[in-house]
Chains A and B, each alone.
Chain A
Amino acid sequence: MGNGFRSVTRAFHVLLTVFLLILGGLISGCGSSETRVESGNRTGVFHVGNATEPQSLDPHVSTGVPEHHIQLAIFEGLVSKHPTTLEPVPGVAERWEVGEDRLTYRFYIRENARWSNGDLMTAEDYRWSWERALTPAMGNQYAYMLYPIKNAEAFATGKIGDFSQVGVKVISPQILEVTLNNPTPYFLQLLDHHSAYAVHRPSIEKHGSPTARYSDWTRPGNLVGNGPFKLTEWKLYRHIRVEKNEHYWDAENVALNAIMFYPTENLTTEERMFRVGQLHMTKYIPLDKAPVYRENDPDSFVNERYLGTYYYQFNLSREPFKNVKVRQALAFAIDRDALIKTVLNSSVTAAYSLTPPGTLGYQPPKLVGFDPNKARKLLAEAGFPNGEGFPVIELLYNTSEQHRKVAVAVQQMWKDHLNINVNIVNQEWKVYLSSRDQLQYDIARAAWIGDFVDPMNFLDLGLSDNGNNRSAYSDPHYDYLIKEYIPSATTPKERLERFFEAETYLMEAMPFVPIYTYHTMFLRDKGVKGLPANLMDYYSYKHVTLGNDEVADNAVTEED
């Protein structure tokens, strides 16, 4: 019997050994291979972490940043952006003329601008595409980016049904004329938004109705774009591959052969992928890794200001927030510097205004510094000396470790400086959105990321009829300032002065408490060149080169 047991044990041990040998064999075969970054440098393939699986590559359907980062490779706007300054630069249009009334724009389309299948691009492509983008049945959530165009809003909301009444006119195959409702200084910027991209009519119509969301036209092999790259592979939740488009008008200046986009919604995994050479560039970096990279690998760590504001908003339909002094008291009791240093690893900038400073040369007013004495005084004037009688209020945020940390810190500051009790409440993203929409909160965490570089994009949040306001703040005078007073400014300087005036008015009413200005933080291999970080996280891939590990010069010169 003892022998029998031994033989069985031996048999199992043999099995186990075989299993381990197989495993060992598999492992040993893997160690020596070249990393993706190394092979990418050799073959001109750029490997990029891109946050999430794109919902769609149809520019009139998609809404997210990851989608836009792929669209920037496969489409190009009528007007493009300078990779560093974000100033408008020629795209599909080689030049444009602006009428003296600042209402009429004439765009001259390049004669060598072609679709990725070789078809010539014409002004009619834009007229048809913008009609598609604005057609109500399309359900384009960014249709409003085209609203500065005359009658565009009326068409998009079904008030008029005839697109010929919209201010888009084909003068000749190469000339497109656009008429605006009002002078709009940021209009050219909007033309680089995906909602304003041209789409290829024959390939869309071949795969179904032009306005159908459920269509195969965006699949590899079907999608015809006009950018420096063309879509060649789309493996769901694995990667998207785009390759150099030989029909692109500036193809000779495109250095990369291909870009691979990986959906990397898990930040920790993305950082690991970067660390072992699977990615040239990440989309984000886990907050707790920021100090580590800043210390040990500063050349790979990118941290630049971003056109976005993190703020808290009050529900003005509820007591005690109807009282402006209560709102101001709470705003003055937040020590932003301490918050950023202790909770946010010094990776963002304190915000004292809704509009990020430096937006198009605009310097906003600074009205809400940390001043606990003033905060206590204001609270007393509101009828709550030393916080007595102040109700227990709730601070709502969407589930996220970072939001929680900020909320806990602010909760403590309000307790310490104002002696008031705050409960912090987290909700899952969609539940939180629904609560904010229906004003089911006291104070809520919120954020606004600019769609274009102009203070208007931030300050119109305070409009009574802006769906993004969500605070019940409504003031006819502020509406007047935004809708009439600012647009009637005659010079850029005067316009900025009026923005300052409007923002001062808004910050005194304090429906929103700015906390910090976002930073874009990510990791980039030292060999990646020609991809500067900028305010809008905007990428111009055609300037990118991959190379050795010397510190990259990511400043793109004016000639670029």
Chain B
Amino acid sequence: MLNFILSRSMQSIPVIFVVITITFFLVRFAPGGPFDDEKSVEPEVKAALEAQYRLDQPLFSQYAAYLGDLAQGDLGPSFKYPGRSVNELIATGFPVTAELGLYAILIALCIGGISGVVAALKPNTAQDYVPMSLAMLGICMPTFLLGPLLILVFGIWLEWLPVSGWGDLPGDKILPSFTLGAAYAAYVARLSRGGMLEVMSQDYIRTARAKGLPERVVVLKHGLRGGMIPVVAYLGPAFAGILSGSFVIETIFQIHGLGRFYVQAAFNRDYTMILGCTVFLATLIVVFNLLSDLLAAWMNPRLRSQLGGNQ
């Protein structure tokens, strides 16, 4: 198992390195620079600005300098927000995005998991069709439609919940978490239904029933563990996707999360911030994929023995 973790970690280093290199040069080749604005900047001023951010040096030495700083954990100063470092911006935005993502995943698991299992227990009945139709609706409905709809109903018509913010007003975390969680809940529902249906027809479930276990134990202890493997495999990429893709929710609800910083950075040509976010998120995605593989291995005895054999 340790070997597996180590080899996977070693494999991920070149991946992240390639991501850094490609991003570094791609953003530089994009037209427009961080100091271009509607009002033209005088050449002397622009030169002074570029000197402050090492942009006057050859591209390769900038690249080498960036890698050197990165090795020390320094993501550099933000171009757009003078006086702020990229590390600080990420440290501000990430906990919010992570919290939002966590709630969304929990909501997705609660709603999706429950409805998927419930549906799988009585396939091809109303108990199956109703939650699965809702799940299909959830998959089809984009967050930029669901978000404003929920705001309209719960924020403006009923006046139950705040329409924006995160941690500023009571209850302002509910709508964004729910909106983000809904689409994932739909996927989780379909995955858990599929997983459960497959598992419940396996021999070992029949054996469990044959030895007289109550159905509750059969489903919750034996069925759920196998049936949830597809969901767990999906969780890693889903959480990484939530972290890097919560931009829409963060914009609709004015949440100060990393997604909003990231997209703004791209618009602003805030080179260091774009790179910093990319490196950070790429690392996270690699880590989450690794974790979800490990979790799947722990849940799947066949895979576990395979990995054990490698030790």
Contacts and interface: CB of A to CB of B under 8 A. Distances in A.
Interface of A: 1, 3-5, 7-9, 11-13, 15-16, 19, 23, 26-31, 33, 36, 53, 55-56, 58, 61, 63, 136-141, 143-144, 156-158, 213-219, 235-239, 262-266, 268-269, 272-273, 275-276, 278, 428-435, 437, 447, 449, 466-468, 470
A36 B172 CA distance: 13
28 contacts: A4-B216, A4-B218, A4-B219, A9-B122, A26-B174, A27-B161, A29-B171, A30-B170, A56-B82, A140-B45, A141-B41, A217-B83, A236-B92, A236-B93, A237-B257, A263-B254, A266-B254, A269-B163, A269-B251, A272-B151, A278-B162, A278-B164, A429-B32, A430-B267, A430-B269, A431-B30, A467-B40, A470-B40
A30 B38 CA distance: 43
Which 8 residue pairs are nearest across A and B when measured between Cβ atoms? A4-B215, A430-B32, A467-B40, A237-B256, A30-B171, A213-B82, A139-B49, A434-B31
A40 to B, nearest CB: 13
A359 B255 CA distance: 40
Given A12-B114, A269-B253, A136 B45 contact: yes
A466 B51 CA distance: 24
A213 B159 contact: no
Contacts of A218: 83
**Which of the listed residues A29, A216, A273 has the most CB atoms from chain B within 10 Å of its own CB?**
A273
Interface in B57-109: 77, 80-85, 89, 92-93
A219 B83 CA distance: 9
B110 interface: yes
B260 interface: yes
A435 B160 contact: no
Given A141-B37, A266-B251, A467-B40, A30 B83 contact: no
B209 interface: yes
A304 to B, nearest CB: 21
Contact of A235 (B118, B154, B256, B264): B256
Given A269-B164, A276-B162, A430-B268, 17 more contacts: A8-B216, A9-B121, A11-B220, A31-B158, A136-B48, A139-B45, A213-B52, A213-B82, A236-B89, A237-B256, A237-B257, A237-B260, A272-B164, A275-B163, A430-B31, A434-B31, A449-B38
A30 B215 contact: no
Interface in B149-186: 151, 154-156, 158-166, 168-171, 174, 178
B203 interface: no
A247 to B, nearest CB: 24
Nearest to A266: B251
B256 to A, nearest CB: 3
A272 B156 contact: yes
A141 B118 contact: no
B216 A11 contact: yes
A15 B115 CA distance: 11
B216 A429 contact: no
Interface residues of B, number: 77
A36 B111 CA distance: 33
A224 to B, nearest CB: 15
B49 to A, nearest CB: 4
B83 A56 contact: yes
**Which of the listed residues B49, B89, B122, B156 has the most CB atoms from chain A within 10 Å of its own CB?**
B49
B189 to A, nearest CB: 12
B81 A273 contact: no
Given A214-B77, A272-B163, A272-B164, A141 B83 contact: no
A7 B219 CA distance: 10
B245 interface: no
Interface in B234-272: 251-257, 260-261, 264, 267-269
A276 B83 contact: no
A27 B39 contact: no
A15 B117 CA distance: 12
A50 to B, nearest CB: 12
Contact of A468 (B31, B36, B40, B93): B40
A15 B156 CA distance: 29
B254 A12 contact: no
Contacts of B45: 136, 139-141, 143, 156
Contacts of B170: 29-30, 33
Contact of A30 (B156, B161, B251, B264): B161
A490 B42 CA distance: 31
A235 B33 CA distance: 27
A356 B151 CA distance: 40
Contacts of B117: 8, 12
B251 A430 contact: no
Interface string B260-303: 11001001110000000000000000000000000000000000
A533 to B, nearest CB: 22
Contacts of A437: 36, 40
Contacts of A30: 160-162, 169-171
B254 A23 contact: no
Contacts of B168: 238-239
Contacts of B162: 30, 276, 278
A216 B83 contact: yes
A103 B45 CA distance: 27
B230 interface: no
